[in-house]
Amino acid sequence: MTTAPKPADAQALKAGGIIRQVEKDNFVVRLRVPGGNIQTDKMIKAAELASKYGRGYCHFTFQQSIEIPYVEVSRLDDLKAEMDKAGLRLANCGPRVRAVTACQGCRINPYGLVDSPALAAEADERYFGIGTPAKFKVSYSGCPIACANPQENDIGFHGMVDPQLIPELCNGCTLCVRLCKSRAGEALTMNEQTNLPEKDPSMCIFCGECIYCCPTLAMKPRRTGHAVFVGGKHGRFPRWGNRIADFVSDAETFELIEKVSTWYQKNGKRGERLGVAIDRLGLDRFKAEVLGDRFKTAIEWDIYGSRPAGVRYQTLHTWDPD
């Protein structure tokens, strides 16, 4: 027979992903799902546990975790024992690195440029649960569509690609130019003399639309990597993340998570989110102490839309009228 934890243990339970509800002696049990991917047998088991220990339903959090609500405090130990046996792990809450989120990336999405689920899984194994002054959220997106909201996390990444034209393969169809204008910006224009697309590097958002759409494979990746954002957050006072680096490699994303979280541990006040600490101490100081001269952005970005200055929001489809 299990015994109920003392009321003083509620804070410790919360740190381990077991969160007190409004209803007395009931807790939400949060399961850890790095990158939003979970094996089907574990998902079935989570549903079974929700029926056995909760009220027959699960909740999917915005952090891609699964929660089992309405678990009575007296049954927590039994639930955790069954979770351990099934290979289900607890998530967390409070001032620490949370479960890393991700989109499906290049595994599923044809626009995907990087393997965001694999990177999220590795980052989660490395950094999950490390203590920080307040919550610390990490996300990976496969491309500039940014489904995992990198601009709204303490540190977030999205894939990016620098296209280059192989002139002898281009048939002058103009599809890349039309799609760039309608979906990305106006980085590409057609040269009437050569009948080839030309790129304005200062206007490119590195989305890879031109590579994806090219029927003759004339557009190729010159380089790929990640854009990096820091200091983003939701909440009562949301903050858009600062774009601090471009074309960072897979391995360098882990290095930056470590550098940024270490800076935050050293400089952040208790309960202060990273973006607030950056605003208090200055972005220039943050960049100097964390990035040095190694990491830079490719061009100057507009903080509100993370797009080159002068590039307006575009229509969604090529068939939209001018």
Is pLDDT at 303 greater than 80 in this prediction?
no
Residue 235 corresponds to which amino acid? G
Is pLDDT at 267 greater than 70 in this prediction?
yes
Residue 55 pLDDT level (bands cut at 50, 70, 90): very high
Is pLDDT at 226 greater than 50 in this prediction?
yes
Is pLDDT at 13 greater than 50 in this prediction?
yes
> 95-322 maps to which CATH number?
3.30.413.10
Is pLDDT at 6 greater than 80 in this prediction?
no
Contacts by residues 256-263 (CB-CB < 8 Å, ≥ 24 positions apart) = 256/155, 256/228, 256/290, 256/295, 257/123, 257/126, 257/127, 257/138, 257/155, 258/127, 259/290, 259/291, 260/154, 260/155, 260/230, 260/290, 261/97, 261/127, 261/130, 261/132, 261/136, 261/155, 263/289, 263/290
Average pLDDT, rounded, for the chain: 92
Q: What percent of the chain has pLDDT over 90?
A: 83
Neighbour count for residue 171 (Cβ, 10 Å):
12
Question: What string of DSSP letters covers 212-224?
Answer: HH-TT--EEEEEE
Instruction: Report domain extents, the chain.
Output: 7-86, 95-322
Q: State residue 14's pLDDT score.
A: 87
* Structure token digits, residue 98: 């949370």
Q: State residue 313's pLDDT score.
A: 56
Is pLDDT at 5 greater than 80 in this prediction?
no
Q: State residue 21's pLDDT score.
A: 94
Q: State residue 230's pLDDT score.
A: 98
> Can you name the residues that pair with 223 across neighbouring β-strands?
162
Rounded to whole angstroms, the Cα distance separating 50 from 43 reads 11
Q: Indicate the range of 98-107, 119-128, 274-283, 301-310 predicted with least confidence.
A: 301-310
Mean pLDDT calculated for residue range 180-208: 91
Query: Fold match between 7-86 and 95-322?
Result: no
Is pLDDT at 131 greater than 70 in this prediction?
yes
Choosing among 3.10.580.10, 3.30.420.10, 3.30.2010.30, 3.30.70.3340, the CATH entry for 7-86 is 3.30.70.3340
Closest CA relative to residue 159, chosen from 192, 205, 122: 205
- pLDDT tens-digit profile of 227-250? 999 999 999 999 999 999 999 999
Closest CA relative to residue 123, chosen from 156, 93, 146: 156
At 22 the three-state DSSP class reads coil
Residue 223 pLDDT level (bands cut at 50, 70, 90): very high
Q: State residue 11's pLDDT score.
A: 83
Closest CA relative to residue 247, chosen from 292, 296, 185: 296
Q: What is the 3-state secondary structure (H, E, C) of 105-121?
A: HHHHCCCCCCCHHHHHH
Residue 183 pLDDT level (bands cut at 50, 70, 90): confident
- What DSSP element (H or E) covers 66? strand 66-72
Q: State residue 312's pLDDT score.
A: 64
Q: Does residue 307 or residue 197 have the better pLDDT? A: 197
Mean pLDDT calculated for residue range 249-269: 98
Is pLDDT at 222 greater than 90 in this prediction?
yes
- pLDDT tens-digit profile of 139-160? 999 999 999 999 999 999 999 9
Give every CB contact of residue 107 below 8 A, 6+ residues apart in sequence. Answer: 115, 117
Rounded to whole angstroms, the Cα distance separating 10 from 6 reads 8
Is pLDDT at 24 greater than 70 in this prediction?
yes
**Considering the entire predicted model, what is its pTM?**
0.91
Closest CA relative to residue 52, chosen from 27, 70, 40, 31: 70
Contact indicator for 5, 76 with CB cutoff of 8 Å: yes
Work out whether strand 188-191 and strand 242-248 pair parallel, antiparallel, or are unpaired. unpaired
Cα torsion 275, 276, 277, 280: sign: positive
Is pLDDT at 8 greater than 60 in this prediction?
no
